[in-house]
Homo-oligomer: A and B are copies of this chain.
């Protein structure tokens, strides 16, 4: 094996017959440097010819900051809606020259601090908040922090909070419009989902005063919750998501109720199973493309130290009317 050395900018410089600095200036289009078109082309040609790719490590070491956007993925069940958004986000950030990397597990693997300290990312996208110390440490290290969801009061906007709230609001709104006065809220069983459930519930509360019950993903136990709601005179259920909604549907069926005549149900996410349910599930869907684009511009703004753009959440959330409510 003939020593498979990495191709460095020095190789490019040698081939183009210029200094290494010139190569750097050309490839980074450094402003305030004048390079003749002739050498410019020679450098570009040489770089392409050699298949040169700059070392992220060296670049990061030098500049003190990498072009990585680190997304800390909590350990809650990541549905394919979220997966979709992350994919779109990755594409959007790539267009800005940023590399999106996701790290699953803000669990006890190792202190998350280790991860971001090691990577020195340009920005960190997190869903939950950090401790004050950690936040301060990141600020000091020059890492732009974007907290997407819940968090204590602070400078950081919580980018997803408004959309999540709006989801609950739209659910309640839809059921009200279709004539339901007493509403119920089907809260998820998994405590890890609380972070999403709280803002959604808050949104529903802004319009109605729903009776909240926890609904496990199990027909028999869901039936108990449904029976409770019936006793309360509830006729319409806002479910945390489509899966919980399916459980409510199953619970109602167990009790011999018909949907939506006896009990209307509306979910969230529009998962494939929603349209295949009996009856097909009315649900609230999010425009993942728009959301990803907004997150991307927010992150880019945060990296640049500019304030976050505002999100016109209205067109983001849409009700998909089917037969369950």
Contact = CB atoms under 8 A, between A and B. Distances in A.
A57 B53 contact: no
A219 B103 CA distance: 37
A243 B218 contact: no
Interface string A89-127: 111001100011111110101100111011110000000
Contacts of A38: none
Interface stretch (A79-87, A153-161, A313-321): A79-87
15 contacts: A53-B117, A55-B61, A56-B57, A57-B58, A57-B120, A78-B80, A78-B83, A80-B80, A87-B107, A95-B109, A99-B118, A100-B105, A101-B101, A242-B273, A246-B273
Nearest to A115: B99
B115 A4 contact: no
Nearest to A218: B275
A285 interface: no
Residues of A in contact with B, size category: 35 or more
Contacts of A107: 87, 91
Contacts of A242: 273
A324 interface: no
Given A77-B80, A104-B86, A276 B109 contact: no
Interface in A1-31: 4, 6
B217 A275 contact: yes
Nearest to A113: B53
Nearest to A250: B276
A278 interface: yes
Nearest to A105: B90
